[in-house]
Structure 1
Amino acid sequence: MAENFSARKIWNYSPDEPISYNPLFDRPVNAVKIFNGMVRRWISISRFLLSVLLGFVIYQYLTPSLQTMQNLAADWVLFIFLRNTALLCLVAGSLHLYLHAYKVQGDRFKFLKREMATNNKNFKFNNQVYDNIFWSVASGVTVWTGYEVLYLTSVANGWITVAPFADHPIQFFVWILCFPLIRGIHFYFIHRLLHHPFLYKHVHIIHHLNVNTGPWSGISMHPIENLIYQSSPLIHFIIPSDPVIVILHLLLVTVNPAFTHSGFEKIMNKDTKISDSADFHHQLHHKYFDCNYGNMDVPLDVWLGTHHDGTKEATEKLRMKKRKAVA
């Protein structure tokens, strides 16, 4: 059974069962679990499905024409920056207001009882939320926009090859199906890199000040970390894809973290679940630091010995490992 508030006085809420990963990697293969996992991701309301739909809308209606983007110009670059800022404000801002400011669902499914920090000199403006907003926009949106502009102007000028949906429909859907695997592998290894003592002290520490995370914590990072963290879409410069896929990929690494850092496992309307939100797997990383570097789509933490399944036994094992390291 996972850690709970009464046992450890740590969590306001934690899942009843130990953390499990993508059933695709279970052995022996369980077809029912794989099918149910796909249904939750694709058919039910999920942050992944919402990102897919948003990607189509953005590219179709909120992206300048390829002709316009052939030449770098301040007007269309600024438009994309402001569009991305507005998208992040819409998602992270709405989640913050719903879950933290107005506390519409109270503390139901909230991992940690305490509120976002105020009067804390560790954060800019002595306020965790203001600090997170600053880094999310000044660093996160700037890097996001930079990668997007680099890709779009490359496409507009024919510098890279694309694979339009009309010509390559199967490849289009293969990309979407592979996103969780691509992001899971990339995130694990760049995250381990960011925990190198030098990079942690000078770069990653900004993000890790958020032990108690909120929607604005998602891409609240040092610019160097955002450059590294958001780099997975560079794969599209090597392997052709439809531009919609690249827009979606960028959304998954920038807007989706507002959900995964919300501090609440589920978003509720009274007794009805609206959507899944944060996962306990990553909350454990923010709490204990030396575990769960990846995500639940690829069980690299299990394979490479950095897994914390949320149980009391896993916490004691991690603490013992740390004590031995400093002995």
Structure 2
Amino acid sequence: MIQISGPATFWLTALLFFVAIFGRYVLFSLTFWWLFNVSWKEQFAQRTVQTRPRKPDQDWREIGWSALTSIIFTAIAMGMILAYQAGHTAVYTHLHDYPLLWYPVSILLVLFIHETYYYWLHRWMHRPGVYKWVHKTHHDSITTSPWTAFSFHPIESTLQAIIIPALTFVIPLHISAVGLILMIMTLSSAVNHLNTEIYPRNFNNHWFGRWLIGATHHSLHHTQFRFNYGLYFTFWDKWMKTESPDFHRLFGEKTKKRNSSEE
């Protein structure tokens, strides 16, 4: 963990964190954009979830909001570093401070808590008195793309960003586990907003795949609003009966094999 010893170190560290956070977003988004709009365009042409054209300059608006989101994420990350240096967090750096089994368990536990927090936060953000002030910015992207992944109003960015740092105060996490969780979050968000279904046919009924959110699942949220509130997983939507009734049909349509030679 970086040690901050003065203002110069603080601002240099903050700059490095911003470059890492925003750069990670750009790297994932640009990679997925290139793969599915240039390299694999023909292979996945029939897997586009929505056909409504994106608004003019929508990519740049989303990148602008995402840059602001990255600044907020950086500020909260800096607060976490200062708290760690003061001995207030449960983050550890020596792998054998806890049993090795705890490493994957801690990651799964944080992902479950994060999913639970986000599902109920997301439903709250759709309340009429809250939506226009907090969540509408993200839903301006009715037809999503990888650039949509971090496109949030600052209030929503803050509400989304605080949960994982808060958990580091109560759940022992190896520093690399924190980094891995953040990578999973970024990758998942890019995949979910891709607007192209990358999962294989019948994956929505697979024992593992049925619990994962992908582009078809999340795109339905952007068009139907009152369904599919999850972040990584579908279990809260299934338990609370908020999964779109159109999901399995649409997933099948977007992943069906295109000709008999592929059977």
Range into which the TM-score falls when normalised by the shorter chain? 0.7 to 0.9
Offset, 1:88: 1.3
- Whether the 8 Å CA contact 1:267–1:277 is kept in 2: the answer is no
Q: Quick one: distance in 1 between partners of 2:53 and 2:39?
A: 11
| Alignment partner of 1:235 is 2:167 | yes
- Whether the 8 Å CA contact 1:84–1:145 is kept in 2: the answer is yes
Partner residue of 1:144? 73
Mapping for residues 15-34 of structure 1, pairs under 5 Å? none
Match for residue 108 of structure 1 among 33, 46, 49: 46
Match for residue 61 of structure 2 among 116, 131, 143: 131
Q: Which amino acid aligns with 1:251?
A: M
Which piece of structure 1 moves more, 293-302 or 192-201?
Answer: 293-302
Q: What SS class does the counterpart of residue 108 from structure 1 fall into?
A: helix
- Whether the 8 Å CA contact 1:262–1:277 is kept in 2: the answer is no
Say if 1:298 and 1:99 are closer, same or farther in 2 by CA, change over 3 A: closer
| Alignment partner of 1:83 is 2:25 | no
| Alignment partner of 1:310 is 2:242 | no
Q: Which amino acid aligns with 1:248?
A: L
Cα distance per residue 1:70-112 (max 9 Å; x no partner):
5452111111111222211111122123323x36323232111
Q: Quick one: distance in 1 between partners of 2:15 and 2:222?
A: 34
Q: Quick one: distance in 1 between partners of 2:6 and 2:16?
A: 14
| Alignment partner of 1:278 is 2:214 | yes
- Whether the 8 Å CA contact 1:265–1:280 is kept in 2: the answer is yes
Partner residue of 1:216? 147
Q: Which amino acid aligns with 2:30?
A: G
Q: Quick one: distance in 1 between partners of 2:129 and 2:136?
A: 10
Q: Which amino acid aligns with 1:116?
A: R
Q: Quick one: distance in 1 between partners of 2:245 and 2:5?
A: 49
Partner residue of 2:224? 288
Q: Which amino acid aligns with 2:78?
A: V
Partner residue of 1:154? 83
What do you get for the CA RMSD once the two structures are aligned?
A: 2.6
Match for residue 185 of structure 1 among 97, 101, 116: 116
- Whether the 8 Å CA contact 1:281–1:310 is kept in 2: the answer is no
Q: Quick one: distance in 2 between partners of 1:252 and 1:311?
A: 23
Q: What SS class does the counterpart of residue 206 from structure 1 fall into?
A: helix
Q: Quick one: distance in 2 between partners of 1:239 and 1:177?
A: 12
Q: Which amino acid aligns with 2:66?
A: S
Q: Which amino acid aligns with 2:16?
A: F
Q: Quick one: distance in 1 between partners of 2:103 and 2:30?
A: 31
Partner residue of 1:262? 194
| Alignment partner of 1:196 is 2:127 | yes
Cα distance per residue 1:248-300 (max 9 Å; x no partner):
233333453112101111189xxxxxxx9933221111110011112462522
Offset, 1:142: 1.3
Say if 1:311 and 1:240 are closer, same or farther in 2 by CA, change over 3 A: closer
Q: Which has the higher helix share?
A: 2
Offset, 1:219: 1.4
| Alignment partner of 1:205 is 2:140 | no
| Alignment partner of 1:245 is 2:166 | no
Q: Mind listing any 5+ residue stretches in structure 2 that lack a counterpart?
A: 201-211, 251-263
Q: What SS class does the counterpart of residue 218 from structure 2 fall into?
A: helix
Partner residue of 1:324? none
Partner residue of 2:29? 92
Percent identical: 25
